């Protein structure tokens, strides 16, 4: 089995072939629903040409997902590697979408994706790095006054240490998690950046390629399906990595394996919490206008995604009072969801001077973080040579 970030490729479907032996080597790979992939290794041995052909009922959305992660501005590099068994190509790669330069003729009825992958480094050349930049946004919010700055890392991470981003990488420490929590696809250890030995630490760690992405944040397009699996137990939702993605008739889902927020613009705002004891999502009881909990019915009417990374995602959401006391009013909020958290960070935009309307605040309070500190987490890679003692 091979994997490019979250996209899995069955190893059993790999066979070797050659195209112009003097220039390139190809490997044909099977894909879901009868599709096939061909990867070409050419020129620089550290570069890979990846060509993918998808066929089947979800071909378009699967291809769109791969195009988006390849073209993402928020993911610096992703692992392209085997699952469970190491091979020579395993490493982190920077991808460039090159659909206009196919390595082979597209099969009839197939949807193709082409990319050039440039090697960034192996696990022995780079560390995974989560940078922090703690701040107290102004005006912030009115949901509480805690000052922790929680950072979530996969519990399977090895050799976790922090380096001082403000002085010298030789200043380092081994941090201790403040909690370990279970998410849908794995455990997450939570650290408090505000309690570490120095300010704005960078968390360095190593993690097996095939485990990367399992507990990361994500955005889904449901394509109008109520559940993530269809009647044949095939995933019918698709991951979104492009902030300009158009959702059409489906819901937009923000989730991190612990908290899931489903938004259907103009009609729905629902929250679910993952229950590891039952391995199921349970509905969060948000107050509602229909039940008489609120005097004004606030609904999200526009979601502007601003960041879709591995450690956090962000969006500015415009809410409109559609019924009740303040019908016709509009108010926007900045929402952030981070890895391992069971709450949203809800911030008043910097240009807004009015406080959060009372009923809108009450609507979000069950899932809103009470901390007034933003950890500013951002995941990337750091060359080992840059942080050697």
pLDDT tens digits, one per residue of 77-136: 999 877 666 667 889 999 888 765 555 545 556 777 888 889 999 999 999 999 999 999
Question: For residue 325, what pLDDT is reported?
Answer: 95
Give yes or no: residues 185 and 317 share one domain: yes
Same-domain status, 186 and 293 = yes
Give the closest residue to 211 by CA, choosing from 128, 278, 307: 128
Nearest to residue 322, comparing CAs of 285, 360, 354? 360
Is the pTM higher than 0.85? yes
Is 197 in the same domain as 241?
yes
* Same domain, yes or no: 133 and 62: no
> Three-state DSSP class for 331?
strand
SS3 (DSSP) at 13: helix
Same domain, 179 and 94: no
Residue where a domain terminates, one of 98, 121, 144: 121
**Taking the alpha carbons of 285, 289, 294, 300 in that order, is the dihedral positive or negative?**
positive
For all residues of the chain together, what is the average pLDDT?
Answer: 85
Q: Give the residue, 82 or 72, on which the prediction is more confident.
A: 72
Same domain for 287 and 321 = yes
DSSP assignments along 230-264, one per residue = -TTS-B-SEEE--TT---TTSPEEEE-SSEEEEEE
Q: Are 131 and 150 members of one domain?
A: yes
As a whole-number percent, the residues of the chain with pLDDT over 90 amount to: 66
Domain final position from 102, 121, 140: 121
Distance, in Å, from the CA atom of 79 to the CA atom of 119, rounded to the nearest integer, reads: 10
Q: Are residues 193 and 234 in the same domain?
A: yes
What is the number of domains present in the chain? 2
Of 71, 102, 121, the residue at which a domain comes to its end is 121
Domain span at 338: 123-389
Cα 133 from chain centroid? 19
Task: Find the Cα–Cα–Cα–Cα dihedral 343, 155, 314, 227, rounded to 10°.
Answer: -80
Give the CA-trace dihedral at 235, 237, 239, 242, to 10 degrees.
150
Say how far apart CA 125 and CA 80 lie, in whole Å: 15
278 and 376 together in one domain: yes
Angle at 347 between CA 342 and CA 351, to 5 degrees: 165
């Amino acid at each position: 089995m091979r994997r490019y970030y979250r996209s899995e490729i069955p190893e059993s479907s790999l066979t070797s072939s050659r195209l112009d032996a003097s220039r390139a080597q190809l490997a044909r790979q099977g894909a879901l629903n009868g599709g096939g992939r061909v990867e070409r290794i050419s020129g620089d041995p550290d570069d890979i040409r990846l060509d993918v052909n998808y066929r089947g009922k979800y071909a378009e959305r699967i291809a769109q997902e791969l195009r988006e992660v390849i073209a993402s501005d928020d993911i610096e590099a992703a692992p392209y590697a085997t699952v469970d068994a190491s091979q020579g190509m395993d490493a982190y790669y920077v991808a460039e979408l090159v659909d206009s330069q196919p390595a082979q003729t597209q099969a009839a009825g197939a949807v193709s994706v082409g990319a050039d992958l440039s090697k960034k480094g192996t696990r022995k050349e780079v560390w995974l790095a989560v940078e922090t930049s703690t701040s107290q946004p102004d005006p912030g919010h009115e949901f509480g006054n805690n000052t922790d700055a929680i950072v979530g890392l996969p519990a399977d991470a090895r050799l976790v240490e922090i380096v001082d981003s403000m002085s010298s990488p030789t200043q380092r420490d081994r941090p201790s998690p403040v909690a370990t929590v279970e998410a849908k696809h794995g455990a997450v250890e939570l650290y408090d950046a505000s309690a570490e030995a120095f300010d704005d630490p960078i968390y360095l760690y190593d993690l097996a390629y095939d485990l990367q992405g399992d507990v990361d944040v994500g955005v889904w397009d449901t394509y109008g399906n109520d559940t993530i699996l269809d009647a044949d137990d095939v995933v019918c939702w698709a991951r979104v990595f492009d902030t300009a993605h158009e959702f059409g008739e489906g819901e937009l889902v923000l989730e991190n394996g612990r908290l899931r927020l489903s938004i259907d613009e103009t009609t729905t705002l629902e929250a679910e919490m993952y229950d590891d004891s039952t391995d199921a999502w349970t509905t969060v009881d948000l107050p509602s206008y229909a039940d008489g909990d609120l005097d004004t019915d606030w609904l999200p009417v526009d979601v502007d995604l601003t960041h879709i990374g591995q450690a956090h995602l962000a969006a500015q959401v415009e809410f409109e009072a559609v019924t009740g006391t303040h019908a016709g009013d509009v108010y926007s909020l900045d929402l952030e969801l981070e890895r391992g958290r069971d709450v949203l960070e809800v911030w008043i935009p910097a240009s807004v001077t009015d406080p959060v309307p009372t009923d809108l605040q009450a609507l979000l309070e069950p899932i809103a973080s009470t901390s007034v500190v933003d950890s500013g987490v951002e995941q990337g890679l750091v060359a080992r040579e840059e942080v050697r003692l």
